[in-house]
Amino acid sequence: MKFKYKITVIVTLQIALIIASFLVIIHFESQMILTGNIVNVAGKNRILTGQVQIEINQVLFHDKTHEHNVSLALEKLEDNIHFLKYGGEFSGLSIPPLPLQFTTDWNNIVKQFEKYKNDISKLVSKENASSQEIKDIEELGNNLVTLSGVLTEKLGQDIDTHSKQLILLQIIFCIINVIIHILMISFILKMFTKYTKQKIKDEKFTTIGEFATIIAHDMRNPLGTIRNSVTLLQKYNNSKLFDDEIHRINRAVKRMSHQIEGVLNYIRTVPFVLEPASIHEILYHSLDIIIMPKNIKLSIPENDITILCDSEKLEFVFANLILNAVQAIDNDTGYITIKLSDKEDMAVLSFENSGVIPKQNISKIFEPLFTTKMQGTGLGLTSCKNIIEQHNGTIIVKDDPITFTIHLPKNSVSCQV
Amino acid sequence: MSSVKKILIVDDDYDFLESLQLLLINEGHDVLAITNGNSAVLKYQEFNPDIVFLDVKMPVIDGYEAFLRIIKYDHNAKVVFISSYMLDDIKYKNAKDRSLAGLINKPIKLDILRKIIKKHAK
């Protein structure tokens, strides 16, 4: 599920990046189109000025009654100049207001138009206009066209700049997308390789687990017979040798049983039998399978707490932690100190010892099949963690000195069987 | 209440069955040992035990089925499963809901056996 979640996040990010790239490009392009529309409006000044000029010539040289047409042509030109500044809708095209950097050019056009308009009204109202006056009007008209041309050219340059920026932006987005895609693909491949390795490992565990479970179960019957017979024989012992050997067999049975429980508790196939039990008593029972070396000083808590638990399973946990401590101390002179305390609705147990576990191994200590010992399945501490968690408790380990701390609810009625 | 109990033990592993029978007889109980579930149900009616120790995995009819037949005959029957194999979660829960007295795993510790007999035997 974690793998699927990561892939989903990565693909979503890629899609978001592609959409963002397109939106930025679309925004730039639409800005360019709008500026292109302004160019059209500015260019229209030339045509409209030309029309004014035609109407003037009509009035001056042909028909004096066409004066009204001059006013109409001027009005159209004026409207176009205002439209150029403030924008709006025109023939289905959207024209934005003129960008502020072109205000000076527009002001020059307006000034020139005002002069052009005034001089035309003076000229057409005269009976006989001189050829110089007509030429001056033409000159003003040409200036107006030139100023509009300057604005058109500047707008064109602006579009050109935007166009270059857009190409650059497209290249940048393309490079970013390619890089991110390559990174994503390598990341997905890495995750996939990790996932495949984990899957193979899990399958191996399952197969090993199934075999181990069958063997462990099969061993329980003969072990049961041995224990029954030894228990019976114990009652008829009549010598120290007999008694010692019976104890040896009993210890061996317990150790085998302990290993079997380790496998079965790792697979979690053993149901819980919850009953009130004394932690003190469970601790003492757990010591049955251990021969404590003389170089180790063991301290057991004097206080006791009764909790609702599966005592056989907790016995397994305690025996495992003590055995591990014995192995960690090895032949050095050392200690194992077990402390028990009451913390509201929890019983807190700590197993401290003077042994050494390399720092790099501390984090892997609860991983299945992790072992640095020649003996053992590597399932012991994993099974311990399983059992404590099934009691709704927690187990943590810290070094310097090595201490396993267990928190167990006193009343784990809701234990996860 | 007498400390001598009538105990029916059912297991298809003959060695285990016989060793457990000897152990319980030595503890002073009246013990009947049976090697399959079918006979166990029939013998329960004749023997009328105070407690039954029933292996779960057996041929013909398994421990669950034998348990169901016993409690059908006697609602107050005290039956304890002895298991060495993985238990079927659903069947085990069903048995627990129908007054299964307990579960012990092989190899059995004598003190646990004594506690169970003391606690559950009629």
Burial class (CB in 10 A: 0-12, 13-18, 19+), B56: buried
Asked whether residue A355 carries a pLDDT value surpassing 70, the answer given is: yes
Check residue A417 and give its pLDDT. 41
Q: In the β-sheet with B79-83, what is the strand arrangement from edge to edge?
A: B30-34, B6-10, B51-55, B79-83, B102-105
Quick check: B106 and A224 CB within 8 A? yes
Residue B100 lies in a domain: yes
Check residue A415 and give its pLDDT. 44
Helix or strand (DSSP H, E) at A319: helix A311-329
Check residue A269 and give its pLDDT. 59
Strands A394-398 and A334-343: unpaired
Asked whether residue A374 carries a pLDDT value surpassing 50, the answer given is: no
Longest dimension (CA), chain A: 157
Check residue A229 and give its pLDDT. 92
Residue B91 lies in a domain: yes
Which residues in chain A have Cβ-Cβ distances shorter than 8 Å to B107?
220, 223-224, 226-228, 253, 257
- Chain B residues contacting A via beta carbons under 8 Å: 13, 15-16, 19-20, 22-23, 26, 84-87, 89, 92, 102-110, 112
Rounded to whole angstroms, the Cα distance separating A387 from A135 reads 108
Check residue B86 and give its pLDDT. 64
Rounded to whole angstroms, the Cα distance separating B86 from B56 reads 9
Nearest-Cα distance to chain A for B85, in Å, is: 5
Residue percentage of chain A with pLDDT more than 90: 24
Quote the number of domains for chain B.
Answer: 1
Nearest-Cα distance to chain A for B21, in Å, is: 9
Asked whether residue A248 carries a pLDDT value surpassing 50, the answer given is: yes
Confirm if A117 and A109 have CB atoms less than 8 A apart: no
Q: Which amino acid is at A386?
A: N
Check residue A377 and give its pLDDT. 57
Confirm if A402 and A325 have CB atoms less than 8 A apart: yes
Label residue A414 by pLDDT band (50, 70, 90): very low
Rounded to an integer, the average pLDDT of A113-135 is 84
| Tokens (6 digits) for B22 | 């000897």
Percent of chain A as helix, strand, coil, to the nearest 5: 70, 10, 20
Residue B50: which CATH number? Answer: 3.40.50.2300
Tokens 């002001």 correspond to A107
Percent of chain B as helix, strand, coil, to the nearest 5: 45, 20, 35
| Tokens (6 digits) for A342 | 């009451």
Residue B32 lies in a domain: yes
- CA dihedral over A20, A24, A30, A34, signed as positive or negative: positive
Domains and CATH numbers, chain A: 2-191 (1.20.120.1730), 272-409 (3.30.565.10)
Lowest mean pLDDT among A6-20, A395-409, B46-60: A6-20
Q: CA geometry: angle at A264 spanning A353 and B83, to 5°?
A: 125
Asked whether residue A174 carries a pLDDT value surpassing 50, the answer given is: yes
Check residue A76 and give its pLDDT. 92
Confirm if A337 and A395 have CB atoms less than 8 A apart: no
Host domain of residue B70: 6-120
Rounded to an integer, the average pLDDT of A187-201 is 87
Lowest mean pLDDT among A84-93, A189-198, A395-404: A84-93
Rounded to an integer, the average pLDDT of A10-24 is 85
Q: Which residues of A10-40 are buried (b: 16+ CB within 10 A; e: fewer)?
A: beeeeeebeeebeeeeeebeebbebbebbbe
In tens, the pLDDT along A81-106 reads 999 899 888 777 778 899 899 999 99
Q: Which residues of B89-120 are buried (b: 16+ CB within 10 A; e: fewer)?
A: eebbeebeeeebbbbbbbbbbbeebeebbeeb
Label residue A56 by pLDDT band (50, 70, 90): confident
CB pairs under 8 A between A and B: 66
Count of positions (residues) in chain A: 417
Confirm if B114 and B92 have CB atoms less than 8 A apart: no
Residue B1 lies in a domain: no
Rounded to whole angstroms, the Cα distance separating B110 from A30 reads 89
Which residues in chain B have Cβ-Cβ distances shorter than 8 Å to A221?
13, 16, 84, 106
Q: Which are the contacts of A310, defined by CB distance < 8 A and separation ≥ 6? A: A272, A273, A274, A275, A387, A391
CB-closest option in B19, B23, B85 to A217: B85
Residue B28 lies in a domain: yes
Give the residue among A270, A410, A276 at the shortest CA–CA distance from A348.
Answer: A410
How large is the C-alpha radius of gyration of chain A? 47
Q: What is the DSSP string of A293-318?
A: -TTEEEE--S---EEEE-HHHHHHHH
In tens, the pLDDT along B87-112 reads 677 888 888 888 888 888 888 888 88
Label residue B30 by pLDDT band (50, 70, 90): very high
| Cis status of the peptide bond prior to A401, with omega within 30 of 0 | yes
Tokens 């099974």 correspond to A383
| Tokens (6 digits) for A300 | 């057991």
Q: Which residues of A296-317 are buried (b: 16+ CB within 10 A; e: fewer)?
A: bebeebeeebebbbbbbbbbbb
Check residue B20 and give its pLDDT. 94
Check residue A376 and give its pLDDT. 56
Check residue A3 and give its pLDDT. 67
How large is the C-alpha radius of gyration of chain B? 13
CB-closest option in B22, B86, B104 to A269: B86
Check residue A383 and give its pLDDT. 82
Q: Which amino acid is at A121?
A: S
Give the residue among B70, B52, B65, B49 at the shortest CA–CA distance from B116.
Answer: B52
Rounded to whole angstroms, the Cα distance separating B58 from B40 reads 11
Rounded to whole angstroms, the Cα distance separating A243 from A411 reads 40
CB-closest option in A218, A235, A270 to B105: A270
Check residue B4 and give its pLDDT. 92
Q: In this structure, what are the phi and psi dihedrals at residue A112, rounded to the nearest 5 degrees? A: -65, -40
Confirm if B28 and B44 have CB atoms less than 8 A apart: no
Label residue B34 by pLDDT band (50, 70, 90): very high
